[in-house]
C-alpha cells in the first residue's frame, strides 16, 4: 500500500509556499486598501532569518480534532524554536498541510476560531490561508486576501496593526491594549487614522482603559 507521505511531493509544496510568500504575501496589491505589501512583516522576517516553514500531513480522513492538535502543537513548537534572528517581533512560522484536500479546507476556518484565544493569550496571532478562504482585508471587505495555493497556518507575534483583528472580543482587545495602548491617546505616535479610530472604538465598546 502506498502511504500518504509517499504521494506528497514535499519539494514542490515547499516551492509553492516560497513562491506564495515572495510573489503574493510580500508584494503589494491594488485591492489591499493601502500602500505596501500584503503582509509587511514577511520580507523583514525572512531577511532576519526568523521565518520557519513546516510541513504536516493530515491523512486521507482529517478531523477537526486532528487539525486543532496540529495548531496547538505548532504553538508549542513556535515557543520552543531556537530562532536564528534576534528580533522576537519578526518570528514567524508557516505550517503547510499539503495533503489537505480542497473540500476539507473549511476545517481550517473552524480550527482558527477554536484556537485563537490560546494564541492571543500567548501574544501571538494565527491566520488560516487556503484556496477557498473568504477572510477579507481589514481595509477592503470586498477583497478575499487570505488565498493560498495550498492550505496552511501562519503564526507570528501580535503587531500594532492587529487591532483590526483583536477588537472583536474584549479579552482579545485587552491583550492588545496591554502591549500597544501606550502608543495611543495624547501624544500618540500612531499616524494611521483608521487604526486610531478602531482602537478608540474598541475602548468605548469595552469600557475605556483600565484604572
Is the per-residue pLDDT at 110 higher than 90? yes
Is the per-residue pLDDT at 144 higher than 90? yes
What is the helix (H) or strand (E) element at residue 135, kind and residue range?
none
Average pLDDT over residues 4-14: 80
For 55-91, the pLDDT digits (tens) are 999 999 999 999 999 999 999 999 999 998 889 999 9
Q: Model pTM?
A: 0.92
| Angstrom distance (rounded) from CA 200 to CA 202 | 5
The pair phi, psi for residue 24, each rounded to 5°, is -115, -65
The pair phi, psi for residue 69, each rounded to 5°, is -65, -35
pLDDT higher at 86 or 98: 98
Question: What is residue 24's DSSP assignment?
Answer: I
Is the per-residue pLDDT at 1 higher than 70? no
Confidence band, pLDDT 50/70/90 cuts, at residue 209: low
Range in 26-30, 51-55, 96-100, 189-193 with the lowest mean pLDDT: 189-193
Where helices occur in the chain by DSSP H, the ranges are: 4-7, 10-20, 42-47, 64-80, 106-121, 163-166, 170-180, 193-205
Average pLDDT over residues 96-119: 98
| Angstrom distance (rounded) from CA 120 to CA 149 | 26
pLDDT at residue 4 in the model: 53
Confidence band, pLDDT 50/70/90 cuts, at residue 8: confident
Amino acid at each position: 500500500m502506498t502511504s500518504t507521505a509517499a504521494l506528497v511531493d514535499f519539494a514542490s509544496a515547499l516551492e509553492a509556499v516560497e513562491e506564495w510568500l515572495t510573489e503574493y504575501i510580500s508584494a503589494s496589491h491594488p485591492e489591499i486598501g493601502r500602500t505596501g505589501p500584503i503582509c509587511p512583516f514577511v520580507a523583514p522576517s525572512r531577511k532576519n532569518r526568523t521565518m520557519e516553514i513546516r510541513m504536516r500531513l493530515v491523512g486521507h480522513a482529517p478531523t477537526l480534532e486532528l487539525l486543532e492538535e496540529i495548531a496547538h502543537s505548532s504553538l508549542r513548537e513556535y515557543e520552543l524554536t531556537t530562532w536564528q534572528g534576534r528580533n522576537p517581533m519578526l518570528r514567524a512560522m508557516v505550517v503547510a498541510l499539503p495533503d489537505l484536500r480542497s473540500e476539507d479546507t473549511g476545517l481550517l476556518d473552524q480550527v482558527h476560531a477554536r484556537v485563537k484565544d490560546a494564541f492571543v493569550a500567548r501574544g501571538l496571532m494565527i491566520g488560516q490561508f487556503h484556496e477557498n478562504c473568504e477572510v477579507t482585508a481589514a481595509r477592503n471587505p470586498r477583497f478575499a486576501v487570505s488565498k493560498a495555493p495550498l492550505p496552511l497556518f501562519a503564526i507570528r507575534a501580535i503587531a500594532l496593526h492587529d487591532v483590526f483583528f483583536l477588537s472583536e472580543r474584549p479579552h482579545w482587545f485587552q491583550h492588545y491594549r496591554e502591549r500597544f495602548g501606550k502608543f495611543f491617546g495624547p501624544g500618540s505616535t500612531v499616524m494611521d487614522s483608521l487604526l486610531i479610530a478602531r482602537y478608540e472604538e474598541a475602548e468605548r465598546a469595552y469600557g475605556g482603559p483600565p484604572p
